[in-house]
Amino acid sequence: MKQATFHDLSTATSLPPALFNRTETDLSFFVDKVKPIIEAVRIEGDAALERFARQFDGVKAERMSIRAEDAEFDAALERMDPKVVEAIRFAAHNIRAFHEAQKPEEMWLKEMQPGAFAGDRHVPIDSVACYVPRGKGSFPSVLLMTAIPAIVAGVPRPVVITPPGPDGKVDDATLVAARLVGIKDLYKCGGAQGVAAVAYGTETVPKCLKIVGPGSPWVVAAKRQLSNLIDPGTPAGPSECVILADETANPTLAAMDLIIESEHGPDSSAYLVTHSRAVAEGVIAALPGLWAKLDPKRAEFSQTVLCGDHGGVVLTKNFATAIEWVNEYAPEHLEILAEEPLAVMPKIRNAGEILLGNYTPVTLGNFVLGPNAVLPTNGAAKTAGPLSVFDYMKRISVGYVTRAGYDALAEQAHGFALYEGFSGHALAVSPLRKAILAEGK
C-alpha cells in the first residue's frame, strides 16, 4: 500500500511555491487541444456534438437525441430508488431555502441628498447554462447546486448541459434532480464541445449568455477560449480541499475527511495541514486502512492524489504558519478540525467555504447542508466566492432626481465637467436646462 506524501516544513523559513500549484495551473496543453473542437462546433453545430459524443463520451447507441426527451425524465423517475429520490428532495429543500434567503431585494433606493435618490435594481440574466460533469461519475448534486439558484434568481431560460453516457442518455439521478427543481431544457453535450455549443448555439442547443458549474481542465480551457462570447463565471475546476488541524484533531477522522475530495479524480488536490507531528503521522498511518474500505477506483484516485505532487500531509512549525499556508493556498474547501474552530475562522481570509468542527465534513457541504458547493478553485478564492443567486443576476443602477434636488447636484456636476474638459456634460447641467424645462410648463 502506498504512503501519503509528507511535506515536512517544520524547519522551513518560507513556504515552497510548488506546494501551491494545482493540476490546472498550466492549461496550455488543453487550450491547444480545445481549439479545433470549438471550431468544429461553430461550423457544424449538432453534427459536431454527435460526433464528439461518440469520440469522447463513448456513445455507442445508434440514435442519440441531443435534447433530453420528456420520456427520458419519466423513465428515470420510475427506475430510481425511492431512497435516492428522497435524498435529492431533502438536499433540494435545503439548497433552495439557503438561496432564497440569499436573494437580494428587487430594488432599493436611498436619498443621497434632499430630493436625489440612487440605488440598485437586481435583474436575472436572460439565459444561463448549468454545466454538470460526468466523466468520473454522475453528479445530481451539481445539478441541484447550479440549477436551484438559477430558478430562485428567476432566470427566464436556465438550461443544463451534461455529457451523455455510452447509451446516449443522461444518468437517471441527474434527470430526476432536473425534474424536481423545474429544469425542462437539458442537453447531452459535455466537455469543450458543450461549452462551445452554449457559446455559439447550435440547431438544438440554445446560445446562452453565461455558463456556470465545475468541470475538467478541458472545460476550463474552453471557457477561457470563449470568454468573449459567453461569461465563463468563476473558475470551478478539479476538486481541492485542505484539512486544517490542530493538536487536538483525531488523526483517523482527519484522514477520512482528507480522502473526500481526493477521490474525485487524479487531477484533484488535497492536503492536511497541521503543526502537530503526532497528528500528521497519525493521519499517514490511518490512510491505508481507510483506502481499503473504498471502492477500488476511488481508492486509486485518492492514492494518486495523496501520494503525488498535489496532495499529502503538510507539517508546519506552528499553527500560525499552518493558517498562513491555508490563506496562501486559498482552497476550494477548507475544513477546520480544532479545539475551537470558531476562534480559528476569523483568521482565514481565503477559502471557497469553511466547514467547522468534527460534525461538518465536506460531504455534508457537497450534498445537503444548503450553501453552494460550486466553489472557486486554483486560488480564485482569493478574489471570488461560492456560486450564488448573485451569479445569475445583474445589478442595474437606478437614479432619480426631483426638481427640488436638482440644483445642488447640477452645480457640483457642472464644475466637474468643466474641469475634465467635457463641455457637452457641462451644457446639460447649465442654466439652459432649467430655462427649457420652465418653458415647457
List residues with catalytic annotation: 332-333
Q: Among 375, 249, 247, 244, which residue's Cα sits nearest to residue 322? A: 244
HSE (CB half, 13 Å, CA atoms) of 197? 33
Contact 160, 4 (CB under 8 A): no
